[in-house]
Structure 1
């Protein structure tokens, strides 16, 4: 946690942000205590299910717990009655081989990660910095590709901690080349507005990047997957009889069926580095591909 990081590993915020922003930043210096790590937390919502990934400790602990501090470019801004006040931004202070600072964070108007953000004009250190916006925001989306680089879209809060009726970027130039450049600082926050240690922010892993054992655990809980296996049981099991009754004990049925399909006696064998494990993973990959092709109507 931040309190455990040696002082020489942290950069003084006052060296980076002029005095006008220092008071705002100092309010965020207290990071909530870190809870004990869970073995694994699983959310079973969609076919591309996501789980918490606390394994990435390579991300730097930035000043006062910020997820990102650096320059950005204003690509676009909009204000609508339905969509609220949005800002599209290009992130500029990240190396070409760096991970997007928002990678894996929840996005969207319903479940997007709550943020505390600060935008200020670029200025010499001896010139007071003009603050364009400071308050709360919601992460709507992020992207990273070889053509457009690292981008993100946020919705600015129009409540008491947000803007006051007019979009703060009104009148600023937009665009990928001519867009206005600013300093940006971003913190992830809880519902109680406390700052989250960036190493403990819930970052999500796509389904296909999870271990096969986790994939099997997730899909085995989905009625549609169980029904798919039942419909194709004879072909998938190569005629092997499944004794468990799907109508009485679907959990037992899918476990027995997967053992027959994959040639294993336990799901844990999917992670084994031997001939059985490798063959089981090959068969699992084929089964998952078939299932999602059927799910999305590709076959």
Structure 2
């Protein structure tokens, strides 16, 4: 079956209908029908030369599904569907993400598992906002390849809204959080970026109370600060307080902290700014009095006269490419 129009007509014929006896059954027929039942709109495009069933997504990308570049093999000889998401559907040799790879299932079971994975992955791909992305992420089936999971946007571990098992609950007020995904490519915001300088992760500030997301960032702290600009716009105006006080000094510092922040600032998840001698010390979720972020502001240590070398505490923690 080499004619594309003939192939399209064959696939569009409902399963169970009277078929031309000269046309043997093909494995792609059940896949086509199952995709339609799941609410998708499959197609066979000229640029795939009939070697794949495709799903065109609203963002201009496409998913190709085939078995070794073929959909016309007999169902009894089926070994496993492979579903690939292409950023450029006209370039099958370009960047792609593997959504599903079948192995060892019957034709019917493999087709069902393939469509389930595609449906869940599209939901995650199209989700917007920290809560929606996290909910779609935890709903992904185990058939999604591990590397593909790493490339899916998700709330970073230990940050507000993170739950690796159950869908998260939206907050009743704007609350800052951090979402990230694996990247391992140059700066996506700069077309002239050094191709050898790879960003290990993409990070964005986000909100657990609404779908807002900040711009792509390389730096963990910068993404969190974007989120705080959204949830608590005046946070930059507040002074940074010293840490490590105890006894009477600690009580005085707590009173001062309350005096310099608006009423219910911390109840609303507002951040607490503190000084640190560690350059680029990462901001910490859940460490402010009300559960908001502890924001680290670098303050170089005061050196004794004649001291030429900085303290080891003044060295950068460089959290840029850590996974957290």
**TM-score scaled to structure 2, two decimals?**
0.27
> RCO (CA 8 Å, sep 6+): is it higher in 1 or 2?
1
Higher Cα radius of gyration:
2
In the superposition, the TM-score normalised over structure 1's length comes to 0.29
**Richer in strand (by share):** 1
